[in-house]
Amino acid sequence: TAEVVKLPCAMASLTYSSSPAQSNHSTELRIVLIGGRESNGGFKGKSSSGNFILGQNVFNTSRRTAQSEARQQEVFSRRVTVVDTPGWCWVYPREDTPKLDQIEIQNSVHLCPPGPHVFLLVIPVSLYLPELVKASLKQHLELLNADVFSHTIVLFTAVAPCSDEEIESRIRRNPVLQWILQQCGNRKHFLNLINGEDRDQVKKLLEKIETLITNNGFRHCSVDRSQGETLRKEM
């Protein structure tokens, strides 16, 4: 069974650190799921992706995620930690996101010490993102106070048959998706969440994460606890 990780609630900002041993990246992966939420609350979001990656239903998909929470599981001989976070409305400015949700997004990095290797920006393939998403995304990622884009892979998800050609076509038709991918170094992966038996999708994702870690000099995002009290003072 997956292991529940509970740590004291604290505010977070990020700096980047090198792992003591470069070989660690191949045996332990720490993942934070980020992104907006769909207005219809459909089965396409971060929690479902976390369950798919870990191969178990450990995140509750029947309700909106209100608190960041972490689960651990061995996946393809790697110890994988996945942190689920509250989503924000894709088009709303950060000031319209509840302060408690913003605090939980900041807290997410504390749940995978010493810090996450990668952020997966989860975007349903069926979702068309308007221009307002750009500002909203940048504002919400500033909660992490780091160059998050350089440690991010865009994770496209679907719950219906969808080919790679269809995904590329959707990207070409949506300038905002093109912009997001540019910010993330064109790193992307696709998960079809209806086919839970196809673990090869997950294996390829973990390989892409390890490639990103290597390209980033084996750095993870470490937690700087000296910053991040502003939101609490505003409440």
Structure tokens at 224: 């700087």
Mean pLDDT, to the nearest integer, of 2-20? Answer: 46
Contacts with 201 (C-beta within 8 Å, 6 or more apart), sequence order: 52, 190, 191, 192, 195
* CA nearest neighbour of 51 among 29, 28, 33: 33
Q: Does residue 116 have a cis peptide bond before it, meaning omega lies within 30 degrees of 0? A: no
- d(CA 147, CA 45) in angstroms, rounded, equals 23
Residue 19 has pLDDT above 90, yes or no: no
pLDDT of residue 97: 96
Cβ contact 49:191 at 8 Å: yes
Characterize the bridge pairing of strands 188-192 and 3-5.
unpaired
Cα 218 from Cα 231, distance rounded (Å): 31
For 91-132, write each residue's pLDDT tens digit.
Answer: 999 999 999 999 999 999 989 998 999 999 999 998 999 999
pTM over 0.75: yes
The whole-angstrom separation of Cα 66 and Cα 141 is 17
Query: Token match 């191969």: residue?
Result: 55
CB 75 within 8 A of CB 69: no
Check which CATH number belongs to the domain holding 163 and give it. 3.40.50.300
The chain-wide mean pLDDT, for the chain, equals 85
Beta bridge partners of 223: 14
Supply the range of the domain harboring residue 54.
Answer: 3-234
Name the helix (H) or strand (E) containing 31: strand 28-34
pLDDT at 227: 47
What's the pLDDT band for 225 if we cut at 50, 70, 90?
low
User: How does 93-128 read in b/e, with b if 16+ C-beta sit within 10 Å?
Assistant: ebeebeeebbbbbbbbbbbbeebbbbbbbbbbbebe
Q: pLDDT > 70: what percent of the chain?
A: 79
Structure tokens at 136: 């909203």
Residues 6+ apart with CB under 8 A from 229: 11
Neighbouring C-alpha atoms within 13 Å toward the C-beta of 28: 16
How many structural domains is the chain composed of? 1
